[in-house]
Copies of this chain bind each other. A is one copy, B any other.
């Protein structure tokens, strides 16, 4: 086989508040690769099938000199995120041609991986769409586990309590709404469009509102106080939740979208409330919860999906060249459900 073009999505420049597809990321086809002869050095060669797009990726688009625990993408190099690929060649005894690999993958149509670090081979006896494994059934960083495990670990729900879920039409929030309803809670949920409000009501939210149309503080004053806050936003929304919290409230700090899209260091001004109201704020990374909760997750969630009791949506994009657009849409709140990019078929 002759060398073929290997499309890659490169980190090209540090964005301001929002990424600009074509500028901060560029799709590059200048590299060629020969699938038959590229050196594997004991590793394996994969074709990328599916890519997960997540808001935290914006947080990795900084200058490499920037101090952070989360390393930046490297300028001039491909982005990477959670993905699924199929193995085309292998020199690794644990990896066979035709295996489907999930793990952090480079945004390149073809790539060589040295070993299975951080990755695994997927089993898919039910022939579910591969992208399912990026979302509701996915590995850490992915959405089903984030929602399920952090809810189990931190929410301590009591029947009749009230939870406020932000980005409730998103890949995580939509599941949190449903888990909260299963636990007998009153659910207040917010999102940024009327279409999303309708979706959140379908999922069972008792109160669903468009935060662009009504004030979060007004809704919480009327419908609160809140015992649990699922935070995907930070900033002024977190302030509103702090001022609407009940004594002993639990705040589950899953994400802070305002941080990613407004240059960071967004002020939170009402933190004194955590003392006044004995609030606990739980920051977490889901991978640190997996050892404790994985067995429960695998037992409980897949049957809920197959029975249809747990609803789940994907926002689908096609082609590696639109990853930048998919991320921008996500950060602008255009999606309903998990954002996935279908890169290629098996």
Contacts and interface: CB of A to CB of B under 8 A. Distances in A.
Contact of A280 (B238, B283, B285): B283
Interface stretch (A108-116, A176-184, A248-256): A248-256
A282 B282 CA distance: 9
Which of A59, A247, A259, A271 has the most C-beta atoms of chain B within 10 angstroms of its own C-beta?
A: A271
Nearest to A285: B278
Interface stretch (A5-13, A29-37, A136-144, A260-268): A260-268
Contact of A255 (B248, B275, B280): B275
B272 A269 contact: no
B272 A234 contact: yes
Interface in A265-293: 265-285, 288
A128 interface: no
A221 to B, nearest CB: 10
Contact of A253 (B68, B266, B268, B274): B274
Given A265-B270, A268-B267, A271-B238, A70 B280 contact: no
A271 B256 contact: yes
Contact of A266 (B69, B259, B269, B276): B269
Contacts of A268: 267-269, 271
Given A264-B272, A275-B285, A281-B281, 5 more contacts: A247-B288, A256-B271, A266-B269, A278-B288, A281-B283
30 contacts: A59-B272, A238-B271, A247-B288, A253-B271, A253-B274, A253-B275, A254-B275, A255-B275, A256-B272, A256-B275, A264-B272, A265-B270, A266-B269, A267-B267, A267-B268, A267-B269, A273-B283, A274-B281, A274-B283, A275-B283, A275-B284, A276-B283, A277-B283, A278-B283, A278-B284, A278-B288, A280-B280, A280-B282, A281-B281, A281-B283
